[in-house]
Amino acid sequence: MWIADNWKDYEVIDASCGEKLERWGNYILIRPDPQVIWQTEKRAEGWKKCNGHYHRSSKGGGSWEFFNMPDMWQINYKKLCFNLKPFQFKHTGLFPEQAVNWEWTSNKIKNVSRQIKVLNLFAYTGGATLAAAAAGAKVTHVDASKGMVAWAKENLALSGLGNAPVRFLVDDCVKFVEREIRRGNKYDAIIMDPPSYGRGPKGEIWKIEEKIHPFIKLCTKLLSDTPLFFLINSYTTGLAPAVLSYMLNLEVTKKFGGKTNAQEIGLYVTSNGLVLPCGATGRWEM
């Protein structure tokens, strides 16, 4: 398992009974987590003295309950800075476990003596974009949500990377890739973090089980003659690391050589030292 263990401003304090207790900078949040199927005594103080608690509804969805909580605040990961705010579907605008992938992609980019062109698809609020730009890459950031792209731009500026060569696009990722292929554009590295289910700006339907393999195959047409890496992250329960590995081997390793590895990713729970699983990542590298 790959574990994001270099955080200072974030930690999972405890996890029990379908929820996780987290510290985001100076604020304590309780959020539901489908992986937390165990039931243990909630001894940590934060369970009773949190700043925000997302309650699931029996009818689906849910809502936040706040206690002395700002509308927005910031946390840092090394030199990167992120705006956070609780919003619908329990999220805060950042997935801390992704830091383990930021570290890997940054190291890959820094260890070559040329500028790397990175395509970040389903790019959300830009954690991977910031990490790649800080490492010296030229980044194209694509997401279907106008609000998420605006948020990513804010994070880039907060991190002192406002002048970095980053291109932000609000677009359906599949249609963007198809157009880039027609234009003859190439990238040295591709990052994608596709949702289980989603809709594009014009109502395009995305179901990961149906779309992910043909999309990987399509994206290989954008790789340069000297590609550096191809990374896929997934939170979808049915996509085990071995599934991601199989698809990358089938479509990327077979075509370009190199090697593929895939693992679960996770975060340490500070109350007991165990690891909370947080999805899976597949990595191909030359």
Give pLDDT, residue 239.
85
Give pLDDT, residue 213.
96
Give the CA radius of gyration of the chain: 19
Mutual angle of helices 127-134 and 146-158, in 10-degree steps = 40
pLDDT in tens, 40-75: 999 999 999 999 999 988 888 899 999 999 999 999
Burial class from Cβ neighbours inside 10 Å (0-12, 13-18, 19+) for residue 181 reads: middle
Give the residue extent of every domain in the chain: 7-84, 98-285
pLDDT in tens, 202-227: 777 778 888 899 999 999 999 999 99
Q: Into which CATH architecture does domain 7-84 fall?
A: Sandwich (2.60)
Phi/psi of residue 90, nearest 5 degrees: 70, -5
Q: How far apart are CA 44 and CA 41, in angstroms?
A: 9
Low-confidence ranges of the chain (pLDDT < 70): 200-201
Are the folds of 7-84 and 98-285 the same?
no
Q: E strand or H helix at 241, and its extent?
A: helix 241-248
Phi/psi of residue 19, nearest 5 degrees: -135, 155
CATH topology for 98-285?
Rossmann fold (3.40.50)
Give pLDDT, residue 201.
65
- Nearest C-alpha neighbor of 118 from the set 133, 104, 107: 133
